[in-house]
């Protein structure tokens, strides 16, 4: 029952994330159907948008890298809690 409820909730919430037809027409060509509103309007908006995409992609890449190939810390800890 809980799984069905969560699945239904996820499906309903995912529909709200897409833009309505009116907002889709008002957005620039590459940003249509992303979100509601006019989309990026100036150069600074595009810089912020693409830099945030870069940060997300970098973070995801580092997550995958360190999940697949974990390694121990090279440096000793700053505080040795086991030392008397």
In a domain? residue 53: yes
What pLDDT digit, counting tens, does each position of 2-47 carry?
A: 788 888 777 666 665 666 777 777 777 777 777 667 777 889 988 9
Residues spanned by the domain of 53: 17-68
In a domain? residue 80: no
Report residue 60 as tokens.
């995801």
User: Rounded to whole angstroms, how far apart are CA atoms 76 and 8?
Assistant: 48
- The pTM of this model reads 0.54
User: Rounded to whole angstroms, how far apart are CA atoms 64 and 4?
Assistant: 30
Tally the domains of the chain.
1
Cα-flanking dihedrals φ and ψ of residue 27, to 5°?
A: -85, 155
């Amino acid at each position: 029952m809980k799984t069905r409820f969560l699945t239904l909730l996820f499906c309903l919430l995912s529909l709200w994330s897409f833009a309505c037809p009116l907002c889709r027409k008002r957005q620039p060509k590459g940003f249509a159907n992303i979100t509601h509103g006019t989309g990026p309007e100036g150069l600074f908006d595009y810089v912020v948008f693409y830099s945030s995409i870069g940060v997300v992609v970098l973070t995801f890449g580092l997550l995958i890298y360190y999940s697949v190939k974990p390694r121990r810390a090279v440096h000793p800890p700053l505080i040795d809690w086991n030392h008397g």
